[in-house]
Amino acid sequence: MSLPEKIPKNPVLSCQSFGRDERGYPSVLDAGEFLFLNRGSLAIAFALKHVGIAGGDEVLIPAYHCMAMVEPVLWSGAKPVFFRISESTRLDLEDAGLRLSSRSRALIAPHYFGFHQDMPEIRAFCDRHHLVLIEDCAHAFLGETGGHPVGYYGDYAIGSAWKFFPVDEGACVVSSKGRLAGASTEPMGLFSGIKSFVNTLEYAVEYRRMGWLNPVFRLAFRLKDGLWKSVKQNPPASTPPDKNENRGGHTGFDGSRVTQSISRSSRMIVSAASKSRMAKRRRENYLKLQSRLGPLPGCRPLFGSLPEGVVPHVFPLLVDNPEKVFPRLKEEGVPVIRFGEYLSLDMEKGLCRVSEDYSRRVFQFPCHQDLKSEELEWMMNRIANILESAQAQG
């Protein structure tokens, strides 16, 4: 396994992952009836299929997006219609209204980086124009807004488990409107389920979260890799794609897996993991990053504060000189990604200046619950040094 980042970009399985939630913490799973699926993009496709969206229909998508939001729409046969966002990442509903047609059927509303959209306003817009609202909680598995758990306002809501829990895959589709009655999923195959758990465990071993068992597991995984290479050169087509693989913006979306459920091991981890711990530590880590990086020259936090009820997916930083800073971060092993780095080629260039700007300049850094204090400190120092160096060079 290659290790491009020196500290974990994603949550890591350990004994600390579990614990009793005395009061619990609201999540998208509390918004209504739900089904576990394999990936967030597949959950969007599931919702589109379930509501009957097909060829000739149109789906409104924000101009600031990733291909995991677009590929399910294309798979359904519908046409994506893009509309603007504001600098605060709020959906521009006035612009969306100008792009409506007699074929408009649905709107996808993402909570960017875990920060909530004005869902009552978006709900009213969709009701007024008879649109199905898909509340995209891929960045907001935990949290509440308006006294309700995230996902409550959508006809459907989708969540990505692997962005918040120490699992290799997993997502959900949720409906507070009772739309999932009669819907069903297919179990993951035995091989894929085993591989998912092995990947989860291997990630934990690579980042030394298994204590005295680390050397034992490391040896076992080396033997496994050697055996695998000697038996097969390519994994089965049904193997879930690497969650960190980019492919030029494409996600490896496979429409044949739209009804595939989460693996048993991932379902167990999602059920047993402490959501209160996740929320508390993510918020604490976010505020530490904000305090350390916010005052630096050449950048600013995308959001000025961390509202109550928000459990961030990552810490988004708006960088003035991305061409110099991004490669330096990658070279030094700092975990960084850019949401929307590859915008859809179907979107008219110049349609949304904010989206095009943010796709280059918004850097995401991890603030997940499994970062050790020394790992967070190392990352903050490296980011600060690189930003200060870039600023000094002009």
DSSP 244: T
Higher pLDDT, 23 or 122: 122
Own/partner pairs, 115-121, CB within 8 angstroms, 24+ separation: 115/89, 115/140, 115/303, 115/307, 115/310, 115/312, 116/140, 116/143, 116/145, 116/150, 116/307, 116/309, 116/310, 117/90, 117/91, 118/90, 119/145, 119/146, 119/152, 119/153, 119/154, 120/146, 120/153, 121/93
Work out whether strand 58-62 and strand 171-175 pair parallel, antiparallel, or are unpaired: unpaired
Cβ–Cβ < 8 Å for 389, 329: no
DSSP 132: E
Cα 263 from chain centroid (whole Å):
18
Q: Which stretch of 86-90, 172-176, 234-238, 284-288 has the lowest confidence by average pLDDT?
A: 234-238
**pLDDT confidence band for 238 (50 / 70 / 90):** very low
Q: What CATH code would you report for 25-175?
A: 3.40.640.10
Q: Mean pLDDT over residues 223-236, rounded?
A: 61
Residue 253 in this model has a pLDDT that exceeds 60: yes
Q: What is the pLDDT of residue 237?
A: 47
Q: What is the pLDDT of residue 211?
A: 82
Residue 8 in this model has a pLDDT that exceeds 60: yes
Q: Which stretch of 90-94, 119-123, 223-227, 296-300 has the lowest confidence by average pLDDT?
A: 223-227
The string of pLDDT tens digits covering residues 45-88 is 999 999 999 999 999 999 999 999 999 999 999 999 999 999 99
Q: What is the pLDDT of residue 99?
A: 98
Q: Mean pLDDT over residues 172-196, rounded?
A: 91
Q: What is the DSSP string of 35-85?
A: EEES-HHHHHHHHHHHHT--TT-EEEEESS--HHHHHHHHHHT-EEEEE-B
Each domain of the chain, given as residue ranges in start order, spans 25-175, 275-393
- The Cα–Cα gap between 259 and 39 comes to 10
The string of pLDDT tens digits covering residues 106-156 is 999 999 999 999 999 999 999 999 999 999 999 999 999 889 999 999 999
Mean pLDDT of the chain: 91
Q: What is the pLDDT of residue 345?
A: 94
Q: Mean pLDDT over residues 151-170, rounded?
A: 97
Q: What is the pLDDT of residue 251?
A: 65
Nearest to 75 by CA among 104, 55, 61, 105: 55
- The Cα–Cα gap between 339 and 353 comes to 15
The string of pLDDT tens digits covering residues 294-331 is 999 999 999 999 999 999 999 999 999 999 999 999 99
**pLDDT confidence band for 249 (50 / 70 / 90):** low
Q: What is the pLDDT of residue 222?
A: 72
> Other C-beta atoms within 10 Å of 288: how many?
17
Q: What is the pLDDT of residue 22?
A: 63
> Other C-beta atoms within 10 Å of 60: how many?
27
- The Cα–Cα gap between 58 and 56 comes to 7
Q: Which stretch of 164-168, 189-193, 355-359 has the lowest confidence by average pLDDT?
A: 189-193
Cβ–Cβ < 8 Å for 74, 80: yes
**pLDDT confidence band for 219 (50 / 70 / 90):** confident
**pLDDT confidence band for 246 (50 / 70 / 90):** very low
Q: What is the pLDDT of residue 212?
A: 80
Q: What is the pLDDT of residue 2?
A: 41
Share of the chain above pLDDT 90, in %: 80
Q: Which CATH superfamily, name and number, covers 275-393?
A: Aspartate Aminotransferase, domain 1 (3.90.1150.10)
Q: What is the pLDDT of residue 245?
A: 41
Q: What is the pLDDT of residue 1?
A: 39
Q: What is the pLDDT of residue 231?
A: 61
